[in-house]
């Protein structure tokens, strides 16, 4: 049970970090076009959807609008992680402080997941029905690869005979 829960937390963290990277990449100034909107891992999925110029503009506007809401959450996550690291390096381990920071980190992660889901919902509304179908297929393939990868890691290797 704990292992399964940790996998989901890890997957949620990975998705959140992907969203943050995509958001940071998508809101770079226009002169960084090559590494800009389509440079982030999350937005790369949208590149496969053959977006129109209007759709690209709409997506860029949504991500730029949401950046101020995402930045404090990412900053809080980084600060909590730094503080936990400092406690790990301290001469005397203080479990109560780590638990307090872990609780804060859980709330920050929850807020970040909700924010990311809201942004992605806005992004999907820009797509045509065909693009939405293609997006669903791409995401299902990604999920299948992720599950195959994680299942392979949980199986113990068989000894050579």
From the list 26, 8, 1, 5, the residue with the least C-alpha distance to 147 is 8
Alpha helices in 35-126 (DSSP H): 41-47, 53-89, 95-124
pLDDT, residue 129, reads 94
Q: How far apart are CA 67 and CA 79, in angstroms?
A: 18
pLDDT, residue 4, reads 58
pLDDT, residue 88, reads 92
Q: Backbone dihedral region of 51: left (phi > 0), alpha (psi from -120 to 50 degrees) or beta?
A: beta
Domain ranges of the chain: 2-135
pLDDT, residue 117, reads 87
pLDDT, residue 96, reads 93
Tokens of 5: 């829960």
pLDDT digit string (tens) for the chain, length 161 residues: 555 555 555 555 555 544 554 444 444 443 333 333 333 445 678 878 888 999 999 999 998 998 898 899 889 999 999 999 999 999 998 999 999 999 999 999 999 888 888 888 899 999 999 999 998 888 888 888 888 887 776 555 555 54
pLDDT, residue 158, reads 56
Q: How many CB atoms lie within 10 A of CB 97?
A: 14
Angle formed by the axes of helices 53-89 and 95-124, to 10°?
180
Q: What are phi and psi of 48, to 5 degrees?
A: -75, -5
Which secondary structure element, helix H or strand E, spans residue 143, and what is its range?
A: helix 129-154
Q: How far apart are CA 57 and CA 133, in angstroms?
A: 21
- State pTM to two decimals: 0.60
- Helix, strand or coil, per DSSP, at residue 114: helix
Could you give the angle at the alpha carbon of 143 between the alpha carbons of 137 and 144, nearest 5°?
90
């Amino acid at each position: 049970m704990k292992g399964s829960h940790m996998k989901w937390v890890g997957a949620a963290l990975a998705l959140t970090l992907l969203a943050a990277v995509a958001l940071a990449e998508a809101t770079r100034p226009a002169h960084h076009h090559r590494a800009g909107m389509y440079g982030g891992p999350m937005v790369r999925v949208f590149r496969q959807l053959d977006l129109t110029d209007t759709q690209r503009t709409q997506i860029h506007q949504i991500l730029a609008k949401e950046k101020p809401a995402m930045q404090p959450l990412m900053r809080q996550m980084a600060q909590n992680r730094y503080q936990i690291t400092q406690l790990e390096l301290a001469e005397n381990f203080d479990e109560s402080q780590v638990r307090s920071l872990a609780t804060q980190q859980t709330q920050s992660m929850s807020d970040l997941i909700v924010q990311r889901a809201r942004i992605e919902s806005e992004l999907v509304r820009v797509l045509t029905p065909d693009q939405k179908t293609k997006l669903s297929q791409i995401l299902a393939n990604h999920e299948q690869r992720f599950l195959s990868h994680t299942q392979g890691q949980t199986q113990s290797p068989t000894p050579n005979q």
